[in-house]
């Protein structure tokens, strides 16, 4: 089972040992939206100087080189410590309808 290292609302960052072999680096601008939520709410890293983002098979990975702050209008600011993380979105199970769905933030 994955160990959740950071959870910021519905965004879960799981610390991993290394990037997948086929991971491709994505260009990061002055601020980076980690995940868009409902309406205008976003999980965003404003200072990206020490952030590298990679994609592999439609999954996102963050390489954090120095403490970074992730911000959200409802969840506030949280510090992400250095490391390599796989981004996941929290899911919930609807027992009444027998389906699993993503949590919307």
The C-alpha atoms of residue 49 and residue 53 are separated, in whole angstroms, by 11
What is the reported pLDDT for 92? 47
Give CA separation, 44 vs 31, 32, 53, 61, 84, in Å: 7, 6, 13, 14, 17
DSSP state of 17: S
Q: What is the pTM of this model?
A: 0.75
What is the reported pLDDT for 44? 81
Secondary structure percentages of the chain, helix, strand, coil, to 5: 0, 55, 45
The predicted-structure confidence for 10-45, as pLDDT tens digits, reads as follows: 678 899 999 999 999 999 988 887 777 666 667 688
Of 34 and 55, the structure prediction assigns the larger pLDDT to 55
What is the reported pLDDT for 50? 94
What is the reported pLDDT for 1? 44
Instruction: Provide the pLDDT confidence category of residue 53 given band limits of 50, 70 and 90.
Output: very high
The residue-averaged pLDDT of 80-99 equals 71
What is the reported pLDDT for 77? 81
For residue 27, what are the contacts with CB-CB under 8 A and spacing of at least 6?
Answer: none
């Amino acid at each position: 089972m994955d160990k959740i290292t950071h959870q910021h609302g519905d965004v879960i960052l799981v610390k991993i040992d290394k990037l997948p072999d086929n991971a491709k680096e994505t260009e990061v601008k002055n601020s980076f939206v980690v995940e868009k939520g409902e309406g205008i709410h976003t999980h965003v890293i404003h200072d990206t100087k020490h952030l590298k983002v990679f994609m592999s098979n439609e999954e996102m990975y963050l390489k954090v080189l120095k403490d970074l702050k992730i911000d959200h209008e409802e969840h506030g600011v949280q510090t992400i410590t250095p490391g390599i993380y796989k981004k996941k979105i929290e899911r919930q199970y609807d027992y009444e309808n027998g389906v699993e769905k993503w949590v919307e933030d």
